[in-house]
Structure 1
Amino acid sequence: MSSSISSSSNTHIESVHQIRRIDFSGIWVALVTPFCASAEAEVDFPALQALASKLIAEGVAGLVVCGSTGEAAALSAEEQLQVLDAVLAVVPAHQIIMGLSGNHMGQVLHRLAQTGQRGVAGVLVTPPYYIRPSQAGILHYFHEIADASAIPVLLYNIPYRTGVNMELATIQELARHPNIVAIKDCGGNLQATMQLIMDGDIQVLAGEDHQLFTTLCLGGAGGILASAHLRPDLFLRLQAHIRAGQLEQARAIFYHLLPLMQSLFEEPNPAPLKAALASIHSMQDVLRGPMLSASSAMQEKILQAYARLQDLEPIS
């Protein structure tokens, strides 16, 4: 990391106002966006609110709205705010994180301001997609956002969607910014994950569902997970056992959940998840093109994996 970058980041840190610290530990659900079965595939707001209310009632830490699982890329900026406002009508603001992604700085900052006005817990931000900035460019991008934000910023390192990986040194530098408080870790680098947890400067949340057990055992704060839509009680008990040092019980739950986690990502997310939710909740199995619904074979596989969880004896 060059000295010029470090000097610039110090200026950012010293000039920005301190934002209240929030604990983002726990199981957060990467919320789907239900659509109506119509030609326009409008957002199904009643189904959205029913699902959000149910998940909060079941005890999850909170919801991430308009992330990749929420098909944010298929929603207009206006629709994203409408989805956020609909969830805010039924879920306390401190239990909501809003997704934010883009490659036009002005538009990103405008949407950030609109989100900040709503007082949600934080905003989950990816590096700008498609343009593949340098690490210095990533630092500049996130400093601009963190300096401007009225709410905490969570990093979202997901190189297979953005086309660029946030290197460990870059994340460590960003973790020094007082408004950057957590990371959804989809980088796939266990060494980096361990180092960030050991540093203790930023809360590390598993972003790949199958890495939840490992991240928690290493001392991570929790996870932002799509699969926690289904049997969130098991995810909560898994974390509770790990916190209590009961690894055998936690491991048993994890291996019961693992086939479901793996199946949900065998076809592009959130198609398998929406197929499962359509069978157990009052929502339609509808995605916006170019996303397609899960294949019939995948739908059957998902429902079988979910049924096996339902057949389990209660896990203490």
Structure 2
Amino acid sequence: MPVFSGIWVALVTPFNEGAIDFPALRRLARHLLDAGVSGLVACGTTGEAAALSKDEQLAVLDALLDEVPGDQLVMGVAGNNLTEVLAFQREVQRRPIAGVLVPAPYYIRPSQDGLLAWFGAIADASTVPVILYDIPYRTGVRLELDTLRQLARHPRVVAIKDCGGNPETTLALIADGELDVLTGEDGQIFNTLCMGGRGAIAASAHIHPQEFVRMADCIANGELAAARVIFQKLQPLIRLAFAEPNPAPVKSLLAMQGLIVDELRLPMQRSSPTLLQRLRAELA
């Protein structure tokens, strides 16, 4: 049985006048769970974790746990100083969560042996399942297939958020069956699920989450034609959600729905006026 499957939402962190908007965070979490998503991933890229202090990240986690069952909540754990990452990981694991999402250390660009040692240290210290986050266009280094296969042998490493951009690696991991393969590229959700992947961690699924869930359910039931129709209807939304740096478009869309304030922390910028017009048209 998979540990992670279905549609997980890479959750935004709402702000209001510079501070975290905890009431909006809780409302948004409940809204998404009521739509049927499998779970939420807090303090990842979409959650602007790099703009949050560690105390703020823990406060986000605690606020979500007021609304979200622990088995439906994954926490991002990122950094490039192993001592600090492990210390933060210990604090996170004091909470009842489903797992942690861990990318490669950004900026450093270690060797594959270095990545094995890095993720091995984090997995050894983990008391919860670990989701590897392969996103080389942000970290500067790719997790190669052999490295992923070695990491998959660790009992705590159970899944991958796949943004690696190599379909051969994706297919190989699905065929191996050792990791739950969750695409992190929203435009690849249909393909990944059809190929046997377990699901997705998607930012665009904030909007019309029930349709993303329905698409995944159709694929699981072998109703590929119906799933294809749903995905084709979602394509314009997915493209617009990444037309400017994530999570600006998603936050604008959520603000148009009255769920959050359209606010980000520097260096992130709000959606441009041109994009806002296109986003309004998409929701109309």
| Pairwise TM-score range, normalised by the shorter structure | over 0.9
Q: Which residue of 1 is the match for residue 49 of structure 2?
A: 72
Aligned to 2:271: 294
Deviation of residue 279 (structure 1)?
A: 0.8
Paired with 1:166 and 1:181, the residues of 2 have a C-alpha distance of 15
SS at structure 1 position matched to 2:19: coil
Give 1:174's aligned residue: 151
Identity %: 55
Higher Rg of the two aligned structures: 1
Among candidates 133, 142, 154, match of residue 156 of structure 1: 133
Runs of 4+ with >3 A deviation: none
Give me the whole-angstrom Cα distance separating, in 1, the residues matched to 2:119 and 2:85: 11
Distance 1:268 1:53 in 2: 26
Q: Is the 8 A contact 1:183 1:202 kept in 2?
A: yes
Matching of residue 124 in structure 1 with residue 104 in structure 2: no
Task: Determine which of 6, 13, 32 is the counterpart of 2:12.
Answer: 32
Cα deviation for residue 305 of structure 1 reads 2.0
Q: Which amino acid aligns with 2:256?
A: S
Using the alignment, how far apart are the partners of 1:61 and 1:243 within structure 2?
14
Contact 2:129–2:157 (8 Å) recurs in 1: yes
Distance 2:280 2:73 in 1: 28
Q: Confirm or deny: 8 A CA contact 1:22 1:121 kept in the other structure.
A: no
Q: Which amino acid aligns with 1:28?
A: W
Whole-angstrom CA distance in 1 between matches of 2:259 and 2:205 = 17
Task: Provide Cα deviations, 1:164-202, integer angstroms capped at 9, x if missing partner.
Answer: 111111111101111000000000100000000000000
Aligned equivalent of 2:176: 199
Secondary structure of the residue aligned to 2:15 is coil
Partner of 2:23: 46
Q: Aligned partners of 2:24 and 2:2: how far apart in 1?
A: 29
2:99 maps to a residue whose letter is G
Q: Distance in 1 between matches of 2:33 and 2:73?
A: 10
Superposition RMSD in Å: 0.9
Q: How does 1:1-316 map to 2 (within 5 A)?
A: 23-36=3-16, 38=17, 41-307=18-284
SS at match of 1:184: strand
Alignment deviations for residues 178-233 of structure 1 (CA, whole Å, 9 cap, x no partner): 10000000001000000000000000001000000000000000000001101111
Offset at 1:127? 0.4
In structure 1, distance between residues paired with 2:35 and 2:243 = 27
Contact kept in structure 1, 2:41 and 2:201, CA below 8 Å: yes
CA distance in 1, matches of 2:151, 2:53: 29
* 1:302 positional shift: 1.8
In 2: Cα distance, 1:101 partner to 1:261 partner: 25
Offset of 1:306 from its aligned partner? 2.8
Taking structure 1 as reference, are residues 301 and 132 closer, same or farther at Cα in structure 2, changes over 3 Å only?
same
| CA–CA distance in structure 2, aligned partners of residues 185 and 234 of structure 1 | 22
Is residue 2–residue 180 contact of structure 2 (8 Å, CA) maintained in 1?
no
Q: Determine if contact 1:151/1:179 at 8 Å carries over to the other structure.
A: yes
1:244 Cα deviation (Å)?
Answer: 1.2
Distance apart, 1:300 and its partner CA = 1.5
Mapped to 1, the partners of 2:124 and 2:2 lie a distance apart of 17
Q: Deviations over 1:87-145 (max 9, x none)?
A: 00111111000001100001000111111110200000000000011000000000000
Give the number of aligned pairs: 284
Q: Secondary structure at the match of 1:63?
A: strand
Q: TM-score under structure 1 normalisation?
A: 0.89
Could you give the per-residue CA deviations for residues 53-112 of structure 1, whole angstroms, max 9, x where no partner exists?
111111110000000000000000000000000000111111000001100001000111
Asked whether the equivalents of residues 2 and 198 of structure 2 are also in contact (C-alpha less than 8 Å), the reply is no
Matched position secondary structure for 2:268:
coil
* Residue ranges of structure 1 left out of the alignment (5+ in a row): 1-20, 308-316
